[in-house]
Structure 1
Amino acid sequence: MPKRRPSEPMPDVFETFAHRVDEAEEQGGPIDATQVAKGAGVSLGLMVCAALGFVLGFWVGTQNEPDLAYDHLVWEGIIKVGFAVLCGLLAAAVVLALTTLAVGLPWVRRQRQRTRR
């Protein structure tokens, strides 16, 4: 039979980590609305680019079907749609990665210039 641990009082979590909550409030300044709007615009642009990449990849996937011998009509449909969806997901991932690099590299360069000054 397993031994029972002696019951000890549990530490107060709020008291233990109270210094972290207080520090977070002191570090943060006012939120700049223009920065939030720029970030939202970039996020929206990335989502639109990824959606367009998916649609184009799906279209390419429907034009190039895998050369397989199908046993049943249902499997043929599943494989064709699955192949097109996979092509769309791959294209969306590639487009998202490229647009993230296109947006991120200039931002990193600007941040490095700010820290060098």
Structure 2
Amino acid sequence: MPDVFETFAHRVDEADATAPPVDAVTVAKGAGISLGLIVLAGLAFVLGFWTGTQNEPELAYDHLVWEAVIKVGFAALCGLLAAAVVLALATLAIGLPWVRRQRERRR
């Protein structure tokens, strides 16, 4: 069986001299934006879950367990939908200016 580390050693040991250096400011900005999106999605999930508990579906339940499962499931779906909407809007708000900057750089 071939040794994986020996087979791909040239990729790890040799530094790519043509690659630009990693800019620490860009990495820090990206990490800050990612952390902000995580917090924003978490808040959206909590508010969506709370909204789901306030607006329960009107169903006739056969058993108490099914009532709990349906109510918690409905609230969780509302939370997931709220978080997904917030992340989609944030992606558009961040992505569109980035795309415009990339297009201007190529001109």
The normalised TM-score by structure 2 is 0.84
Letter in 2 for 1:61: G
Aligned with 2:43 (options 42, 52, 55): 52
Letter in 2 for 1:86: L
Aligned with 1:90 (options 78, 81, 94): 81
SS in 2 for 1:114: helix
| CA root-mean-square deviation | 1.9
Q: How far 1:61 sits from its partner (Å)?
A: 0.7
Q: How far 1:11 sits from its partner (Å)?
A: 4.7
Q: Which deviates more, 84-93 or 69-78?
A: 69-78
Unaligned runs of 5+ in 2: none
Deviation per CA, 1:43-102, whole angstroms, max 9, x where unpaired?
011112111211121111111111211111222112101110111011101111110110
Deviation per CA, 1:14-48, whole angstroms, max 9, x where unpaired?
5554554466x314443222111100111011112
Q: Which residue of 1 aligns with 2:32?
A: 41
Aligned with 2:52 (options 61, 70, 93): 61
Larger Rg: 1
The normalised TM-score by structure 1 is 0.77
In 2, Cα distance between equivalents of 1:111 and 1:88 = 34
SS in 2 for 1:111: helix
Unaligned runs of 5+ in 1: 1-9
